[in-house]
Amino acid sequence: MQAHTAPDLGGADRRPGEVPLMLAMAFRAMSDHLHARLSELGREPLRPAHGYAFRYLADHPAATTVDLASHLGVTKQSASKTVTELADWGYLQRRPHPTDRRAQVLRLTDRGQEYLRLADQLWSESEQQWAELIGADRLDAIHHDLRAYLDQLPGGHPAGLRPVW
């Protein structure tokens, strides 16, 4: 029986599987920075699931709880809990669905849109810190390379921004 050998990945200081782990660690560090900044600003410490919901609802103004659940990869009950939290905090509103009396259309409120803009600003701060460390041209190259990888995934375009749970 022939032993399986790992492919040559280039640099001698890089182990197989290390890049995905480092990407996850970098995302976690950037997320922690975002939440620390939100705390400094006296804002609610929304969970990552809330952020994914905000992004989806911003891009899908006629979405329902079922649509959100499908996008997040969670049960309808879990999505309903997230919707209730965001509605109770004034970030989204529920309106009657125009054709389905059982469903409601979910829309971000002005407060929800403002929170999303703040999150964008804070994510930008993290990117700026990274650019200052490695150079804007290298950060642009990373962005380009990640986009190229995501665009070639099976089935064409990736599913979109969704949680990594």
What is the Cβ-side half-sphere exposure of residue 51, based on CA atoms within 13 angstroms?
Answer: 19
62 pLDDT more than 80: yes
The backbone region for 42, taken as left when phi is positive above 0, alpha when psi lies in -120 to 50, beta otherwise, is left
> Does residue 2 lie within any of the structural domains?
no
Question: Per the structure, how many domains does the chain have?
Answer: 1
Give the residue with greater pLDDT, 4 vs 143: 143
Give me the pLDDT at residue 161, please: 62
> Does residue 62 lie within any of the structural domains?
yes
Integer angstrom CA distances of residue 91 from 24, 50, 58, 87, 158: 28, 10, 11, 6, 27
Look up the pTM and report it.
Answer: 0.78
> Does residue 8 lie within any of the structural domains?
no
Domain range for 68 is 45-151
> Does residue 126 lie within any of the structural domains?
yes
CA nearest to 20, candidates 148, 155, 154, 146: 146
1 pLDDT more than 90: no
Give me the pLDDT at residue 165, please: 54
Give me the pLDDT at residue 116, please: 93
- Separation CA 13–CA 136 (nearest Å): 24
> Does residue 79 lie within any of the structural domains?
yes
44 pLDDT more than 90: no
Give me the pLDDT at residue 140, please: 96
> Does residue 39 lie within any of the structural domains?
no
Give me the pLDDT at residue 159, please: 59
> Does residue 81 lie within any of the structural domains?
yes
- Separation CA 45–CA 42 (nearest Å): 9
Looking up residue 141, the CATH number of its domain turns out to be: 1.10.10.10
* CA dihedral sign of residues 13, 33, 81, 76: negative
Confidence of residue 46 (pLDDT cuts 50, 70, 90): confident
Strands (E), 3-139: 92-96, 104-108
Q: Which token pair is 138? A: 């290298």
Phi, psi of 13 (to 5 degrees): -95, 10
Give me the pLDDT at residue 78, please: 92
> Does residue 3 lie within any of the structural domains?
no
- Pairing between β-strand 92-96 and β-strand 104-108 as defined by DSSP bridges: antiparallel
8 A C-beta contact, residue 139 and residue 130: yes
CA nearest to 57, candidates 32, 36, 31, 79: 79
